[in-house]
Amino acid sequence: MSEVRIDTAGAYVDFPIFDAKTRSLKKAVLGRAGGAMKRNNSNVMVVEALRDITMSLREGDRVGLVGHNGAGKSTLLRLLAGIYEPTRGKARVQGRVAPIFDLGVGMDPEISGYENIIIRGLFLGMTRKQMLARMDEIADFTELGDYLNMPLRTYSTGMRVRVAMGVVTSIEPEILLLDEGIGAVDAEFMRKARRKLEELVSRSGILVFASHSDEFLAQLCDTAMWIDHGTIRERGSIKDVLTHYKGPEAASIVDKVRADMAIEDKRDGIEENR
């Protein structure tokens, strides 16, 4: 089996703006990308969404991405997923990637939920046989019942997210790219999904997780990277990076989460030895 790894070296991602005179367009792109505007070698106005990204991740790494909205976290996840190619520099990802964002990718509104489960699984690198074996478990997880026989176009956004989440949390990823901002589902279902995501993380080789939740980051990640205006401003332990990004109160949250996890692990150990 080949080694699971992520390597980037001086990677940039630029978004071209072909009508740079339109102020509203510039504002929209800057809001999405969060980078600096400049002209490239072809004299086309671009936004540098990511600048000089260099990292090396190996199996067992659990990395949290922190930063303000538009800082470049989602763009970085898409670079690692192969959705964006680096404009300059290099990005090499070795291993089966499971991206948990853009949940609608690989789904067809004209076919049933059951058929979309299989298609979404194929999109994420699973076989049809593997998806059929997981079908009952995924159907139970979605809690959609007979709706799974209906075309996806009849679903609400929240129902579509349930289908996509059901598929993603059932697979065996080597590299898990997770963006918590998937929204559109009720709080009770999200709590259920979080438990499944924790199980999914334990099965994955590498995790890169973008989130605004200090508790969830501390629960799933050991290290963190602070993304600021398209660059890596700081990297280090989850506690240190969150403290520098948000202040000393973040350190207290990390300590509490870790203490609670230690108590839970001890409790589980006692139950297993009974």
Residue 137 lies in a domain: no
Residue 234 lies in a domain: yes
Domain count, the chain: 1
CATH number at residue 65: 3.40.50.300
**Strands 45-58 vs 175-179: parallel, antiparallel or unpaired:** unpaired
Q: What is the pLDDT along the chain (274 residues), one digit of tens a residue?
A: 578 999 999 999 998 876 655 545 555 555 454 566 777 667 677 888 999 999 999 999 999 999 998 899 999 999 999 989 999 999 999 998 888 776 666 689 999 999 999 998 888 778 999 999 999 999 999 999 999 999 999 998 888 888 988 888 888 888 989 887 555 556 677 677 777 777 888 888 999 999 888 888 998 899 999 999 999 999 999 999 999 999 999 999 999 988 888 887 777 666 666 6
Closest alpha carbon to 173 in 144, 206, 128, 195? 206
C-alpha distance from residue 99 to each of 24, 127, 176, 181, 237 (Å): 31, 17, 6, 13, 24
Distance from C-alpha of 250 to C-alpha of 257, rounded to nearest angstrom: 11
Note down the domain range covering 36: 5-96+173-273
Residue 76 lies in a domain: yes
Distance from C-alpha of 184 to C-alpha of 51, rounded to nearest angstrom: 31
The structure tokens listed for 11 are: 């990677």
The structure tokens listed for 122 are: 């194929």
Q: DSSP characters for 232-251?
A: EEEEEEHHHHHHHHH-HHHH
pTM: 0.79
Residue 153 lies in a domain: no
Residue 145 lies in a domain: no
